[in-house]
A = this chain, B = another copy of it.
Amino acid sequence: SVLLYIQVNISVPLYRCCPGEHLCPPLQSVVQVNFFCDYEESKGNYLVDVDGNRMLDVYTQIASIPIGYNHPALTKVMTDPKNMGTFVNRPALGMMPPEQFSEKLVNGLMAVAPKGFSRVQTMACGSCSNENAYKAIFIWYRVRAGVLSFFFQVPGCPDLTLLSFMGGFHGRTLGCLATTHTKAIQKLDVPSFDWPIAPFPQLRYPLDQFERENAREEARCLEEAEDLIVKWNQKGRHVAGVVIEPIQAEGGDNHASFDFYRKLRGITKKHGCAFLVDEVQTGGGSTGKFWAHAHWGLDDPADIVSFSKKMLTGGYYQKDSFQPDKPFRIFNTWLGDHTKNLLLTEVIKVIKTENLLDQAKRSGKVMLEGLYDLQDKYPHLLSKARGIGTFCAIDVKDEDTRNLLLLKARNKGVVLGGCGTQSIRFRPALVFKEHHAHLFLDIFNDAIAEL
């Protein structure tokens, strides 16, 4: 661990370092902690940069490395000659799937399917997962409406909408972007859909000290969401679905109570809206359950659950009724990447055999308690320590200080990422153990002490 305390030197200039210069944008702020990495040398929780600096990674490629770098189980998949055909030839999965496709789905995605889901549609990233989930919702809404009541009389392009929440993030392609409301710069200049946006609860922390205020705030948001659904339905721009994250991640690790989600689910049922839970960042085990929405304790928590990042492949689970009525309505050339299904199957095996969900609970406990201690120690700098499992965050007094802290932590050998305006999010891999949490807290403490 002494090794970690070296200064990290960024030796690769980020201006015009390659012909694709735009991929290495000039460092406009220290938030953009860009450096080049040596992925061969990285291992477990440690990311190694091109200068050989070994850093504890508590950001994991924006929360997308499930079981650490170069896990032997994954290396084994890659070197197994019988997988070569999959890696070298990418099939059009919707038309000519490989022999082992079904088996890999059964032992992979379906082995961790959320309660109540017997279908999964693979996609290639978080954006196409949500884009296609939105389409599945629109199709479902119209097909059902056609069957039930013929209340849509106009053929062609319907005036359906999706309700999303302030501070939510669901991707950056044009459909997803219409439901993403984090930073203004992400939406600036890009045409969008006029769809309803509900407020997301702004809770006060620590949660147990502000129970009454927070309950009131959540009730206000639920009422507003229901009002919007009613109003938009009345004006003929029906709300086909509601999309939400179990924890608003990019938006600043904004939590709402499990009760809030349970009531929101009730509202969607009451008004016949599909309920899409976006688990792109929360899914995969870091909250201590495989899916963050499992904490709500509902028997019928969602109609569609989308995923990507730590799941390696993108895609979504869906209720049977969301299967389009005709083929080719949800389709594209690749429909995912079978390479990722192969790797995911091994990841899931490792999570099970190594009990990594329990590990996330234990490491998360150490982290969160440590963060509470730190905010007690530095109340002028830190606040709102929060989290479930290792999916934790803390707020820093302002954006500039947050950015400085990220840089200081990195220089001391810990890779972190920001979210929201002034939060730091912690996104270790599932192999992050208690001693890693202690090490992280020590270094983080040292970094804060320097502010």
Contact = CB atoms under 8 A, between A and B. Distances in A.
Contacts of A126: 332-333
A267 interface: no
A131 B191 contact: no
Contact of A173 (B40, B175, B308): B175
A109 to B, nearest CB: 7
A36 interface: yes
Contacts of A22: 119, 121, 318, 323-324, 330
A447 interface: no
Interface stretch (A88-96, A222-230, A350-358, A391-399): A88-96
Contacts of A35: 96
A134 interface: yes
Contacts of A324: 22
B125 A334 contact: yes
A84 B90 contact: no
Interface string A89-113: 1111111111101100110011001
B119 A19 contact: yes
Contact of A40 (B41, B64, B82): B82
A62 B102 contact: no
B62 A88 contact: no
A262 interface: no
A192 B20 CA distance: 32
A161 interface: yes
Given A20-B110, A191-B158, A327-B25, A92 B62 contact: yes
A20 B103 CA distance: 10
B75 A84 contact: yes
Interface string A137-164: 0110111000000000000111111000
A125 B333 contact: yes
Interface string A398-438: 00000000000000000000000000000000000000000
B121 A19 contact: no
Nearest to A333: B62
Which among A17, A189, A308 has the greatest number of chain B C-beta atoms within 10 A? A189
Contact of A127 (B69, B74, B89, B173): B173
A143 to B, nearest CB: 8
A42 to B, nearest CB: 7
B88 A61 contact: no
A134 B330 CA distance: 22
A79 to B, nearest CB: 8
A439 interface: no
Contact of A105 (B18, B143, B161, B339): B18
A3 interface: no
A272 interface: no
Nearest to A142: B189
Contacts of A97: 23-24, 34, 36-37
A7 interface: no
Contacts of A312: 90
A99 B333 contact: no
Contacts of A172: 131-132, 135, 331-332
Contacts of A334: 64, 125
A38 interface: yes
Q: Which of A74, A79, A318, A334 has the most CB of B within 10 A?
A: A334
A70 interface: yes
Given A174-B175, A185-B329, 16 more contacts: A18-B102, A19-B118, A22-B323, A28-B326, A32-B95, A34-B96, A37-B97, A37-B98, A39-B86, A65-B89, A74-B88, A124-B125, A126-B332, A127-B128, A156-B188, A174-B176
16 contacts: A18-B105, A22-B119, A22-B323, A23-B97, A26-B327, A36-B98, A40-B82, A61-B333, A75-B84, A78-B84, A78-B88, A125-B333, A126-B332, A127-B173, A131-B173, A191-B193
Interface of A: 17-26, 28, 32-42, 47, 50, 61-62, 64-65, 69-71, 74-75, 78-79, 82, 84-99, 101-102, 105-106, 109-110, 113, 118-122, 124-128, 131-132, 134-135, 138-139, 141-143, 156-161, 171-176, 178, 183, 185-193, 308-309, 312, 318, 323-324, 326-335, 337, 339, 343
